[in-house]
Amino acid sequence: MNGNVFIIGLGLIGGSIGLAILKEHPDAQVTGYDIKPDEMKLAKALHAINRTSSSLQHDAEQADLIIICTPVNETEKLMNSLAAFNLKPDVIVTDVGSTKKNIMSASHVLTQKGITFVGGHPMAGSHKSGVSAAKAFLFENAFYLLTPGDSADEQSIDTLKNWLRGSKAKFLEVKPEEHDHITGMVSHFPHIIASSLVHQVKQNYQKQPLISSLAAGGFRDISRIASSNPSMWRDITLHNIDTLKELLMEWQQEMNRVINMLEENNAEHIYAYFSEAKTFRDEMPILQKGAIPSFYDLFVDVPDYPGVISEITGLLAKEEISIVNLRIMETREDIYGVLTISFQTEEDRKRGAECITSVTDYDVFTV
């Protein structure tokens, strides 16, 4: 496709979208705008855009597609700015925000002027941030939720999907309220729970400092998302506050049920509680890309001798298998392996396991 795409906000998401668009539509002009000039220069150097913006208004008025890739609070402010510009009558405006009800309400400043707005939320991310972490395949096989406004017809939606075809994402159309409830349950609510667990450990740390040293395995995995950007999560929480209050009240009821179960001291009931959770969780398509970035961990029970880690990484490098992270487990109460290797995809993890087991006799596990 030929045309002008204007990406506002050149972080991980904006940069990855630019890479995906230019990969699929190399003849397009993709202009990038960011409040940090260095991010614009880096985005161009990485070929996430092919032109930097010197004027928000000028480049917005030249665009056939405007993609707002900023925090949700900034997105609302930007829509007010765009509404004051002389945009093309057939321009499509979209965003990538993690909440949709408030965004769709704010988009009325555009739609009442005849501008087409389609809410968007690519449900994929990374443990890294910034345009330097951008990848064209970040959204591959991830769900990309769309919440079309009243002004968006099928042709506009198809045009947007065509522009984003290079992302290889799975597009789903949902209502804004439905979106916020779903993402509240699988993304926003777990973040609050993870943060609350960390707060609880912090309180107990004063009495028992060893807690921080021994907090590995399951605690590390379940609390990982508490390390995310607090400013971003403040805004997301405020935008989805009603849903989160409802979910937290349900959580309180569930925890009261657990307390009652423990007071009964019934081994059969306790087993059933864990068994039902395991069964349901095992049946979920949990390894698909979702709202919380996935980590594909491989645990390798290796002997303790000098050079064993370079031996493993050398085997993976020889097969050109990229790794995201590498760490040694000091506390292994619920993890079988001493060496934990994180991969970007499930396919890489499978290849990694086959590579290691084909050459060594080390035990390899996943959990």
Provide, rounded to the nearest whole percent, the portion of the chain with pLDDT above 70: 91
In terms of DSSP H, where are the helices of 37-168?
37-45, 56-62, 72-83, 101-106, 108-111, 154-163
Residue-level pLDDT at 288: 54
Cα–Cα separations (whole angstroms), residue 105 to 76, 118, 173: 9, 12, 17
Residue 289 phi/psi, 5-degree rounding, is -65, 140
Say which residue, 220 or 259, is predicted with more confidence.
259
Q: Is 263 exposed, middle or buried (0-12, 13-18, 19+ CB in 10 A)?
A: exposed
Q: How crowded is residue 34: how many other Cβ atoms within 10 Å of its Cβ?
A: 24
At residue 292, does pLDDT exceed 60? no
pLDDT digits (tens, 9 = 90+) for 239-289: 999 999 999 999 999 999 999 999 999 999 999 999 999 888 878 765 455
Residue-level pLDDT at 336: 42
Task: Map out the domains of the chain as residue ranges.
Answer: 4-174, 179-283, 296-365
**Total-model pTM:** 0.74
Residue bearing tokens 């009652």: 260
Q: Which one-letter amino acid corresponds to residue 322?
A: S
Residue-level pLDDT at 86: 97
Distance CA 107, CA 213 (A): 48
Residue-level pLDDT at 76: 93
CATH class of this structure's domain 4-174:
alpha beta
277: left (phi over 0), alpha (psi -120 to 50) or beta: alpha
At residue 57, does pLDDT exceed 50? yes
Cα–Cα separations (whole angstroms), residue 11 to 233, 235, 318, 327: 16, 17, 32, 27
DSSP-derived 3-state class of residue 47:
coil
pLDDT digits (tens, 9 = 90+) for 128-149: 678 998 888 888 878 899 999 8
Distance CA 249, CA 253 (A): 6
Distance CA 164, CA 21 (A): 6
| Letter string b/e over residues 114-132, b meaning 16 or more CB atoms within 10 A of that residue's CB | ebbbbbbbbbbbbeeeebe
At residue 223, does pLDDT exceed 70? yes
CATH number for the domain formed by residue range(s) 179-283: 1.10.3660.10
pLDDT digits (tens, 9 = 90+) for 306-350: 888 889 999 999 999 988 888 776 444 344 446 888 887 888 999
Residue-level pLDDT at 230: 87
- Residues 6 or more apart from 288 whose CB is under 8 A from it? 141, 142, 143
Average of per-residue pLDDT values in the chain: 87
Residue-level pLDDT at 334: 45
pLDDT digits (tens, 9 = 90+) for 164-200: 999 999 999 999 999 999 989 988 999 999 999 889 8
Classify domain 296-365 at the CATH superfamily level: ACT domain (3.30.70.260)
